[in-house]
Amino acid sequence: MASPKRTPKQIAADRADIADMYLRGWQQVRIAEHLTKVSEHGITYSLEMVKRDLKEVRAQWRRSALIDFDAAKQEQLAKLDLMECQVCDQWLRSCEDYKKHTEGSTPKGPIDKTETGGQTGDPRYMNVLLSIIERRCKLLGLDAPTKVAPTDPTGDKPYSPPSAIEAEQRITELMAKLKYASGNS
């Protein structure tokens, strides 16, 4: 007689259990045996069944990771957009003409004067805008890849591979250390 079929609700519950056991390091055969033993519906779990379910669980994890990554990226881009608007507003405010009114009295008499003048804008706002734009480009992957040239261990000179003789000597040294370490264990 054939094993009873699982309902969609049972499949979802089984996949959650399979994912939990898999993450705890259980082997797939052991998972199948355990699920068969604890099944309330008389279902016999085969290795193939566990493999199929685990394959679907992994696919769900990948989809979830992509969605989470895209959502996080969109959230960061929205924050950058908001910051950019605020910084632009402050830049424009820093470019407006100023008006300074002074009132008071001095030993020479009362003071009541108004100064006006033009402003060129605070360059710090431009630096912030530039860093926002750079960050957005980085998030979107618009920057060209950066080539990293290998260097020697000090970082001062370009890397040059050892000569054949140097490589042979280094291998001999390492082999001797291995033999010494295995002989002392």
Looking at residue 116, its pLDDT comes to 83
Alpha-carbon span 119 to 9, nearest angstrom: 68
Q: What is the pLDDT of residues 7-53, one digit of tens each?
A: 999 999 999 999 999 989 999 999 999 999 998 888 899 999 999 99
Residue 136 φ/ψ region, left for φ over 0, alpha for ψ in the -120 to 50 degree band, beta for the rest: alpha
Residue 88 pLDDT? 93
Angstrom distance (rounded) from CA 53 to CA 31: 11
CA atoms of 180 and 99, how far apart (whole Å): 83
Least confident of 28-37, 53-62, 118-127, 138-147: 138-147
pLDDT tens digits, 54-110: 999 999 988 888 778 888 889 899 999 999 999 999 999 998 888 888 888 888 888
Residue 185 has pLDDT above 70, yes or no: no
Buried b or exposed e, range 23-46, using 16+ CB within 10 angstroms: eeebebeebbebbeeebeeebebe
Contact 57, 65 (CB under 8 A): no
Rounded CA gap, 81 and 73, in Å?
12
SS3 of residue 117 by DSSP: strand
Closest CA to 46 of 14, 20, 13, 7: 14
- The neighbour count for residue 15, using CB atoms within 10 Å, is 17
Number of Cβ within a 10 Å radius of residue 136: 15
